[in-house]
Every structure is written in structure tokens, then in C-alpha cells.
């Protein structure tokens, strides 16, 4: 009955402090762990005023310390990370969110990854790179792009071949932030053959910045044969840049 009532209230309660108080009370004290999970989810989606942020932090810390359901502790860690909190214990819980059966949890997790330091973390990220949800994979690309960690380059290279166009774009953009010697030209040369013109533009821009003459033949083909005029124009500009540096 309580679950049915809370589900009915979800979306009906106003986005204010009173609603936050209701959700947070249920999230901390209800005897049903699934109901606590639902309430914490709803509380975390409300507008984050200073008071809500303060109360939400306090709630999540209590859940991590005393919660009897790991899924709730994981969600609490994700919310704390969204609120700017850090810490090794927090990172361990957050990474577990990548394996959650709830797709929204996996999506949120992929956006708030902690610092990547060890092989176990890489293994979890490799699994996330094969997630069935394209938004999870895209969010993963965005997080890895911000970190610029060389350990993640193989993961990003695999995501450049992702079936989802946006994920491929995010992955190639992330790779372009690394030095050429770390990533090689291959992902960008391959991307020039991608069906997505926006991805080809990213590839041309990276090849221009790297200014490696080994890219000249591929850029010459793109400047003449690419079906997109913007790609052809940028490829010609890249060739001019490379020519000026000879």
C-alpha cells in the first residue's frame, strides 16, 4: 500500500522542500528497502536548493553508513558524487552503479566516475562500454573525456566503433584530446570513412592539429570525394596547414 501511494504521488507532489522532506523521511526510515530506493531517487531529482542539498548530503551519508541494502548505498554514493563529494570509499560504491539493473542508475553513474587508478576500475569501465543502453555509453565517453587518463584510451578506441552515432562522436572527441603519440592516427583515419559527417569533421580537425604528413593522402581524398561540403572544406584547410608546416 505504501509503495502504491508513493508511486501515485511521484510526479504529483510539488517540487519544493515539503516534498523533499517526505521523500527523505521514507528513504531513511521505511521498512521496505525498495520503497527507500524509490524515495531516494525521487528526492535526488528535486530542484537542489541550498536546504535540499544540505539535507540530501546528510541523508546519503546516513544511508551509506547504516543502510542494509547495497543498491541504496550505491545510489546514495552516486548522489553524493553529483553533489561534489569525493573519497575512495565513495568511488568504490559509485563504480558498482555501472552494474545496476536500473538503467537510470547506470546512466547517472557513467557521468560521475571518480579518478581512475587501477586495473579493476578499467575492467568495470570496459563492461560499461558494452552496455546495452547507448546513453550509458555516451555518458561514459563524456566522463573519460574530462579525465584524460591514458589508461582509458583502449576503451575510447572501442567506442569509436559504437553503433550509436553520438557515442562515436563523444569517443572520438575524447581521443582527440590526447597527444598523437598516445592514440596514433588510426582512429581518426578510420573515422574519415564513417557515415556520420559530424564524426568526419572531428577526425579532420584532429588530423589538422596533429599535423602529421602521413595523414595527407586521406585528407586529400576527403577534400575531393567527401559527400559533405563542410568536410571537404575543412580537409582542404587541414592540407593547407600541413603544407605550411613542411
Q: What is the pLDDT of residues 20-51, one digit of tens each?
A: 888 899 899 988 888 899 899 989 988 888 99
The pLDDT value given to residue 10: 58
Least confident of 104-118, 125-139, 175-189, 231-245: 104-118
Q: What mean pLDDT do residues 194-205 have? A: 97
Instruction: State the average pLDDT for the chain.
Output: 90
Contact assessment for residue 36 and residue 60, using Cβ atoms and an 8 Å cutoff: no
Gap between the Cα atoms of 54 and 26, Å rounded: 17
Given a cut of 80, whether residue 213 has pLDDT beyond it is: yes
The pLDDT value given to residue 208: 96
The C-alpha angle 146, 147, 150, rounded to 5 degrees, equals: 130
Given a cut of 80, whether residue 4 has pLDDT beyond it is: no
Whole-structure pTM value: 0.83
The pLDDT value given to residue 7: 59
Given a cut of 90, whether residue 163 has pLDDT beyond it is: yes
- DSSP code of residue 132: S
Non-local (6+) Cβ contacts of 132 within 8 A are: none
Given a cut of 80, whether residue 11 has pLDDT beyond it is: no
**Cα-based distances in Å from 52 to 19, 23, 49:** 10, 11, 5
Given a cut of 90, whether residue 187 has pLDDT beyond it is: yes
Q: What mean pLDDT do residues 146-165 have? A: 91
Contact assessment for residue 67 and residue 90, using Cβ atoms and an 8 Å cutoff: no
Higher-confidence residue of 156 and 87: namely 156
The pLDDT value given to residue 246: 63
Which runs of consecutive H residues, i.e. helices, occur in the chain? 2-9, 17-29, 33-44, 50-66, 70-82, 88-96, 103-111, 119-128, 134-147, 153-159, 165-175, 180-183, 186-191, 197-210, 216-225, 229-244
The pLDDT value given to residue 54: 95
Given a cut of 60, whether residue 1 has pLDDT beyond it is: no
Q: What mean pLDDT do residues 53-82 have? A: 94
Non-local (6+) Cβ contacts of 72 within 8 A are: 27, 33, 36, 37, 40, 63
The pLDDT value given to residue 13: 62
Q: What mean pLDDT do residues 189-218 have? A: 96
Given a cut of 80, whether residue 154 has pLDDT beyond it is: yes
Q: What mean pLDDT do residues 212-226 have? A: 96
The pLDDT value given to residue 118: 73
Gap between the Cα atoms of 226 and 167, Å rounded: 22
Amino acid at each position: 500500500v505504501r509503495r502504491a501511494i508513493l508511486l501515485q504521488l511521484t510526479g504529483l507532489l510539488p517540487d519544493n522542500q515539503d516534498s523533499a522532506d517526505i521523500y527523505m523521511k521514507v528513504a531513511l526510515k521505511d521498512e521496505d528497502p525498495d520503497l527507500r530506493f524509490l524515495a531516494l531517487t525521487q528526492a535526488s531529482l528535486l530542484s537542489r536548493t541550498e536546504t535540499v542539498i544540505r539535507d540530501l548530503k546528510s541523508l546519503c551519508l546516513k544511508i551509506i553508513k547504516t543502510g542494509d541494502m547495497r543498491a541504496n548505498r550505491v545510489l546514495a554514493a552516486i548522489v553524493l558524487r553529483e553533489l561534489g563529494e569525493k573519497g575512495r570509499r565513495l568511488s568504490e560504491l559509485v563504480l558498482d552503479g555501472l552494474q545496476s539493473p536500473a538503467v537510470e542508475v547506470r546512466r547517472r553513474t557513467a557521468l560521475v566516475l571518480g579518478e581512475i587508478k587501477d586495473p579493476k576500475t578499467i575492467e568495470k569501465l570496459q563492461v560499461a562500454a558494452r552496455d546495452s543502453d547507448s546513453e550509458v555509453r555516451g555518458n561514459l565517453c563524456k566522463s573519460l573525456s574530462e579525465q584524460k587518463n591514458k589508461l582509458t584510451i583502449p576503451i575510447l578506441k572501442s567506442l569509436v566503433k559504437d553503433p550509436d552515432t553520438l557515442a562515436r562522436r563523444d569517443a572520438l572527441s575524447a581521443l582527440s584530446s590526447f597527444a598523437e603519440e598516445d592514440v596514433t592516427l588510426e582512429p581518426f583515419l578510420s573515422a574519415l570513412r564513417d557515415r556520420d559527417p559530424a564524426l568526419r569533421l572531428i577526425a579532420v580537425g584532429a588530423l589538422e592539429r596533429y599535423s602529421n604528413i602521413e595523414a595527407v593522402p586521406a585528407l586529400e581524398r576527403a577534400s575531393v570525394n567527401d559527400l559533405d561540403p563542410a568536410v571537404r572544406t575543412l580537409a582542404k584547410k587541414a592540407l593547407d596547414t600541413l603544407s605550411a608546416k613542411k
